[in-house]
Amino acid sequence: MTDIQIIDLNFLNLSDAIASFLIPSDDGLILIESGPETTFSTLKNSIAKAGYQPEDVKHVLLTHIHFDHAGAAWKFAEQGAKIYVHPIGLPHLQNPERLWNSAKQIYGDSMETLWGTMKPIPSEKLIAAEDGNHLKIGQHQFKVHETPGHAIHHNAYQLGDVIFTGDVAGIKIKNGPITPPCPPPDIDLGAWKKSIEKLKALKADKLVLTHFGMVENPEEHLTALEIILDDWAAWMKPYYEAGESPESITPKFIAYTNNQLYEAGVSKKDVERYDKANPSWMSVKGLLRYWKLKDQGRL
């Protein structure tokens, strides 16, 4: 099996929340997911502990452009790395102002604390990774699988029998249950379920989750994800139909999702990890928007 090193980015001083993945190659180091800029020093130190320097990273594969996955990519581009990203996400890395302003509507004054800074990446450093592409990097070959549902600019990357899934395969912390990250503006359950079926059909031995680590039962995992996606969407639907405000819904939804975790035996500390990896308050507006677009016939 290919040597894959899981790097824990210790996001907000919590382990097991956000990971990057390091793979040696004959054409320099490959990094899958850069994490946010706030964890770059942790990532840099981990790369050094592995016997390398950050400038040894020549290829960065991003599953999508959300800050917890792509926020530090510009740091590697500055050091000469090529950055691979879905074609829809590419222009937002070239000019991240709109992406930053959109995220600021969600995170407000917490933006810098959570994500740090994001600088433009020159076009010559950006490579569009399109569905079905085979990315030959050194002795490795990654197959690109477009997997929308969580985000329209989402790819999964297959290396042999292992698939790096970003957020399309959900969040799973330690032995806890799966939760689906449903932030605005792209949540589309129909597209997401098609992506899940696409992943199932690949019959991978392992899924590698950015939040967090290796999953060795892909079929069972993905089926559980479908169930919880439906569960969260069904919970939200009557609140949408009643026209209740996001501010009113949010504490109820946090209580509902936290209770699901506690009932599954998740410790208080690990519930905190889930909250940092996938804050359920963020899914309220995402799921409300999904039902609105569905109601309008736009999905």
In CATH terms, the fold of domain 5-223 is Metallo-beta-lactamase; Chain A (3.60.15)
Give the pLDDT score at 1. Answer: 54
Measured between alpha carbons, how far is 18 from 9 in angstroms, rounded to an integer? Answer: 6
Neighbours of 216 (CB within 10 A): 9
Give the pLDDT score at 105. Answer: 82
Range 88-92, long-range pairs (CB < 8 A, 24+ positions):
88/152, 88/153, 89/62, 89/64, 89/65, 89/153, 90/126, 90/128, 92/65, 92/153
Supply 253's token pair.
């939804």
Burial class of residue 203 in the structure, from the number of CB atoms within 10 Å of its CB (0-12 exposed, 13-18 middle, 19+ buried): exposed
Is 11:18 a contact under the CB 8 Å cutoff?
yes
Among 211, 219, 233, which Cα is nearest to 166's? Answer: 211
- Whether residue 183 has a cis bond before it, omega within 30° of 0: no
Give the pLDDT score at 68. Answer: 96
Is 197:243 a contact under the CB 8 Å cutoff?
no
pLDDT in tens, 131-156: 999 999 999 999 999 999 999 999 99
Supply 144's token pair.
């690109």
Extract the residue ranges of the chain whose pLDDT is less than 50.
Answer: none
Q: Where are the domains of the chain?
A: 5-223
